[in-house]
Structure formats: structure tokens, C-alpha cells
Amino acid sequence: MANGALADALRGAAGRDNVLTEAADRWTYGYDNSRQQALPAAVIFATDAEQVAAVVSVCNERGTPLTARGWGSGTTGATVPSEGGVVLSFERMDAILRTDPANRLMVVQPGVTNQAVQTAAAEHGFFWPPDPTSAAFCSVGGNLAYNSAGPRAVKYGTPRENTLGLRAVTGDASAIRTGVHTTKGVVGYDLTRLIIGSEGTLALTTEATLKLTPVPQARRTMRGVYADMGAAARAVSAIMAQPVVPSTLEFIDGKAIEMIRSHSQADLPEGAGAMLMIAVDGAEACLDQAAAAVSEAARVDGCMGLDMARSHAEVQALWATRKALSPALRQVAPKKINEDVAVPVSRMPELVEGLQGLAHRYGITIVNFGHAGNGNIHVNLLVDPDDPAQMAAAEPCLEAVFDLVLSLEGTLSGEHGIGLVKRAFVAREIEPATLALMRRLKQQFDPNGILNPGKGFPEAG
């Protein structure tokens, strides 16, 4: 628990009602979806930018670690207070401050959920493109800190492409404003994109100006089934090489199909080795032509069938197969290790083939699915916690997965971030000189290293 002097200073800065010091309350704010947990000394509820700066000031003077928290749905432990100190929860700073359809923007506080933003934007015929599956229970602050996205990223991009500016508080308690309210702007360095994806290690976001996109008039949904992953990957490359950008291009591999088959009534042809879920959106008048171009590209050698949904019910039926995967995985392997690597789209067949080799070598079933249009693959190692041999093989297998990804010019994380769990691997991807520059940048934003210490990249030396 926070010692008396720290607790008093925090109450003075944050307001008595915004500070929790009881152990039962503190435990609740010490975990996230990574299944890691640590006990903070105190939990504070952020209420506004001035109060956030006052809390940071107290922590900065005392060298107390301070970890920002949205809704705690992150999967890599970035919001776990691994070095103790204060957890600053943004869940009560959840207002939508301004919706401005004429300028296609929305100004929000960081604790608002992604879903609340989508609902408010939809009233004006707009949406905010980042679409994590967790939309209903994750915050915009968390989305920005992890640069989180979903299936729409292939066409519409991630938070980095859909945020115009921020207000934030740095580790030395300076309140800063970054970016612009326009869709062009080149004055000064692009601190907005630097802070986005920095996992709360550089600054605490207190306000975000989001760039909105008009809701497309119509959408066509297709499902392609392929004999093997090589054929599906060729289809992905062919789709991405023609001018119509799909709004969704998701894939699942043969192992995932087997799993869906054994745990649901999914309707899939025998011998299916991979599946693509494809959507195109845009103006109704152009959509048949756009869908025809994409489906023509998708019909490569090895395509066993391409179904186009004709009604809402048919769209739901096509997605039902894909949606059956997560429950099936949870049932088969509640303790799976889930990575979210990304490789250039054309290297996906090599990745999947390489992963099959590793599965064989280490005796671990590996199931792959994900956002094929971005080459962003969720690699699931289905480790049986009751099998000591598998548990011993898990770590070396994971290391081999990362080595394979990097050898294909890929990256360790497409959207889930580094947090605590991937920190040890970062130096494999980022060169020493670049890492050293990142550490110097961190020092400029946060001279005493209080913001989310122990996250993002390894210590020097």
C-alpha cells in the first residue's frame, strides 16, 4: 500500500474520492487479459487533464511508477503495474466532447469505449475505422496506446492513420498538445504518431481528436475456400495487387478448419485447407463491379469455391464459420499461447509452411488465423499445461516462431503490442542504434522513468 505521505499527496492531487488504497480494490486494477497480475500501491481515477498533471507531478517528485489503465483488456500486460506504484485508471474520463461531421472529426476523452465512439459517429453517418473485436470493453486511450485495430485496417488503417491530434501529459507533468484539426498539417515533428503505440511509456493521453470516415453505402461479403494455405496466400496476393482494396480480408488455416469442424456444425467442403473471408464496400452503384474484380482475383488455382452472400442472413451464415473458431480454441486449449506477428503479404505461405515445420519439430499443435490483408497472423500454440514435455518445448518453440517471422522481414506484433510479455524479444527486431535512440526519446518525455516502467523495450545493457 502507498505509504502515508504518498497517499496523502495523491489524495491532495487527485481528490479524496478518486483514490483507492484498500488491497481488495487494488488487486482489481492490477491485471489484464495477459493473465499477469501485480499489486499497485494505490489506484487513482483520472477526472481531467489538470488532475492528471497534478498526479503525475506527485509521482515524478517521488520517483513513483505510474501505469495508465483503460479497460484492462490488453493481452500483453502493458497495464499490469509490474514495478508497483500507482495505477491511473481513465475509465471515468469517458466523455465525447465534440462531434464535428463537417470537419469529419470527433474529440473524446480517453476512457470512452471504442463502441461508444462508433455509436455516436454512426448517428452522423460516420465511423472511426479502428475496430478491435473488444470494441464494447476497450477504451480509445488503450486503442491509441497499443495502436489496436481489426479487420477493417486493411482498407482504413489503424489509430495512427485515424487520429489527428492529442492532448497529453508527459512524465515531467507537462501538458502538451500534438497534431492538428485538419487532414493535412506539417508543422513540427509528428508527436501524435510517436505517442500512439507507445503503451503509456511516453505520455498520458487526456484527449484525442479522431478522424472520422463516412459509413460506406453498401457491402458485399464473400467466402473463399482453398485446397491449401499456398493457394489462399496466392489469392491474398492477387487480391491485394488489383485496384479494389477489400474492406476485410481474413484467413484461417487448415488446422483451424479442422478445429471448427470438430466443434461445430459449420458447413465447409471436405478437403478444405484454408479459408478467406472477404468483404468489399463502397457506393452501391459501383459495388457489383468491385466485388466481381475481387472475386476474379480470389479464384486462383486451388480455389475450391467462392460463395457470395446475397442477404443479411447469408452474410451471418458465412461469418458463422469464422466465429465458431474462438469458442473451439478456448475449449481445446484454454492455456494457448497467442501471438500476433505480421509479415509482408507475399511471405505468408512461407510463414505458414515454416510454422507447420515448427509444430512438427516441437510437438505442439499450431493454429493460425488473422488479418491476411495486413499479413497479420494470430499464431496460436496449443500447449497442454498438463504435459511437461509440451510445457518445456513452448518457450524454444516461441523463440523459433519469432526468428522465422523476422527472417521473413516481419514484425513481432501487428496489433497486440509488446507490454511485459514480448519485451525480451524486442532487441531481435530493433537494431541497437535505433533502440538507443528510442531510450533517449523516452528520457526526453519522461526524465525520471516513472511512466509504465519495465514495458515496451528492454533496459539498456
Whether 352 contacts 368, CB under 8 Å: yes
Tell me how long the chain is.
461
Window contacting ligand FAD (CB under 6 A); options: 130-138, 250-258, 377-385, 392-400: 130-138
Site for ligand FAD in 89-108 (CB under 6 A): 90
Binding-site string for ligand FAD from residue 408 to residue 427, where x marks contact by CB under 6 A and - marks none: -------xx-----------
Write down the least CB distance from residue 81 to ligand FAD, Å. 9
Write down the least CB distance from residue 396 to ligand FAD, Å. 26
Pairing of strands 66-69, 126-127: unpaired
**Dihedral sign computed on CA atoms, order 170, 419, 147, 405:** positive
Residue number, 197 or 282, with CB nearest to ligand FAD:
197
Distance separating alpha carbons of residues 115 and 136, to the nearest angstrom: 5
Write down the least CB distance from residue 233 to ligand FAD, Å. 21
Residue 110: closest CA among 148, 171, 68: 68
445 binds ligand FAD (CB under 6 A): no
Residue number, 273 or 414, with CB nearest to ligand FAD:
414
Residue number, 342 or 405, with CB nearest to ligand FAD:
342
Q: Which of 51, 75, 99, 162 binds ligand FAD (CB under 6 A)?
A: 75
Q: Which of 79, 82, 247, 374 binds ligand FAD (CB under 6 A)?
A: 79
Distance separating alpha carbons of residues 203 and 177, to the nearest angstrom: 11
Q: How many CB atoms lie within 10 A of CB 13?
A: 20
Write down the least CB distance from residue 347 to ligand FAD, Å. 21
Write down the least CB distance from residue 72 to ligand FAD, Å. 4
Write down the least CB distance from residue 451 to ligand FAD, Å. 8
Binding-site string for ligand FAD from residue 173 to residue 212, where x marks contact by CB under 6 A and - marks none: --------------------------xx---xx-------
Residue number, 114 or 321, with CB nearest to ligand FAD:
114
445 backbone dihedrals φ, ψ, rounded to 5°: -75, -30
Residue number, 203 or 298, with CB nearest to ligand FAD:
203
Distance separating alpha carbons of residues 89 and 25, to the nearest angstrom: 12
Residue 411: closest CA among 428, 392, 398, 397: 428
Binding-site string for ligand FAD from residue 21 to residue 50, where x marks contact by CB under 6 A and - marks none: -----------xx-----------------
Site for ligand FAD in 140-179 (CB under 6 A): 141-143, 145-146, 148-150
Window contacting ligand FAD (CB under 6 A); options: 21-29, 62-70, 221-229, 398-406: 62-70
Distance separating alpha carbons of residues 222 and 314, to the nearest angstrom: 10
Residue number, 164 or 297, with CB nearest to ligand FAD:
164
66 binds ligand FAD (CB under 6 A): no
CA angle 452, 457, 460 (to 5 degrees): 105
Distance separating alpha carbons of residues 295 and 310, to the nearest angstrom: 14
Write down the least CB distance from residue 318 to ligand FAD, Å. 19
Q: Which of 37, 133, 289, 331 binds ligand FAD (CB under 6 A)?
A: 133
Q: Which of 30, 129, 132, 282 binds ligand FAD (CB under 6 A)?
A: 132
Residues forming the site for ligand FAD (CB under 6 A): 32-33, 67-75, 78-79, 90, 110, 132-134, 138-139, 141-143, 145-146, 148-150, 199-200, 204-205, 415-416, 452
